[in-house]
A and B are shown apart, each in its own frame.
Chain A
């Protein structure tokens, strides 16, 4: 069900951004200028995939958002954070964790300034994340030759560190509002906890048993433009006439004749 919902959200974002990409300003298409005026913005984004998933799976809540500030047309400072509450249980144990996480880093816009114009972003972010969380094992049982042993592990607090690579896409929806998604490819640096009762899930990272974890976020973003800069762009060379096509002459009969080279 969770997977189906992710597909639906992906399609909605694709359709909305696809339409917007088709609305290319006529002025920009006319003649490429040497410079373009590029608006720099401060952005505030809220993830809506986490709360939607929580409606389907009450054991997994992640609420997160971010702030970013354009340094120039290519780079933005990124600062994000959130809260996660994760519960898991199966026949032989139950597990609970909750905590806060922050991420900071730089986002790189790979689009050309003339394409982006501050309205579109396609690129990658490099982030470092820190998670502060508590976890407990309220119930743990083991069946053996001697019978069933039941115990619990009390709540304990830990820190986790991870690095994150986030390719993604964002497009203006209307006015100052944008819609975007990003994949998260995370590498664990330190998961906290002892080697015997290490945490299963780390807020902001995901399942800690994996050296790499993946995730996807869908953001609604508010853009606050604070400055405009002139960005020099490469002037496109004028189109050269096709050498294979000869000049056309009117023969009087109304037929266009092509001359062989």
Chain B
């Protein structure tokens, strides 16, 4: 009977620890923005190559640059507007301006209870002017918070 009573005490303690663990609030460590991950390729070689300088900002957001004369950048992270179906960016590669336009749909996605919801996107199409950029292609149209390339820019 004594061992039974010890077992009861042990199981109550185990239950209390489980309860305490389950009530511990968690923190959010996940990436909360689903960026359009854009890789930069040299058209002449077809190799992933960082341009000498890259600047990027949203059209109409000239005072808030996403990248400002950034060097050694092989992949740019472009934030899409969750409340729109189209986004325009001005991209300056080695001092030459181009405009990149993306069409997409957005939907809410639960990251976790601690982090809450973010917006994921399904990329429909992309278009760019061709002053410095030679061509652009979609490699994965599902834009999530995972580290996956979505489009390639050849310059």
Contact = CB atoms under 8 A, between A and B. Distances in A.
Interface of A: 2-3, 6-7, 10, 13-14, 17-18, 21, 24, 88, 90, 92-93, 111, 115, 122, 137, 140, 142, 144-147, 149, 151, 153, 167, 169, 181, 183, 196-198, 200, 206-207, 209, 213-216
Contacts of B14: 183
Interface in B1-47: 1, 4-5, 7-9, 11-12, 14-16, 18-23, 32-33
Contacts of A167: 11
Nearest to B26: A209
A204 to B, nearest CB: 15
B79 A145 contact: yes
B19 A122 contact: no
B117 interface: yes
Nearest to A6: B19
Interface of B: 1, 4-5, 7-9, 11-12, 14-16, 18-23, 32-33, 58, 61, 64, 66, 79-84, 87, 107-110, 112-113, 116-120
Q: Looking at B9, B19, B79, which has the most chain A CB atoms within 10 Å of its CB?
A: B19
A197 B119 CA distance: 11
B113 to A, nearest CB: 5
A124 B36 CA distance: 51
Contacts of A149: 81-83, 119
A56 to B, nearest CB: 12
Contacts of A21: 1, 4-5
Given A140-B117, A183-B11, A146 B81 contact: yes
Nearest to B14: A183
Given A93-B117, A196-B109, A145 B61 contact: yes
A17 B11 CA distance: 14
B15 A207 contact: no
Contacts of A142: 32, 82, 117-119
A21 B33 CA distance: 58
Nearest to B113: A200
A2 B79 CA distance: 41
Given A142-B118, A144-B33, A183-B15, A197 B20 contact: no
A3 B21 CA distance: 9
A153 B113 CA distance: 16
A153 B138 CA distance: 30
A88 B58 contact: no
20 contacts: A10-B16, A13-B12, A18-B5, A88-B113, A90-B116, A92-B116, A111-B4, A142-B118, A144-B33, A145-B61, A146-B61, A147-B81, A151-B108, A169-B8, A183-B14, A196-B110, A197-B109, A206-B22, A214-B21, A216-B15
B12 A209 contact: no
Given A93-B116, A145-B58, A181 B9 contact: no
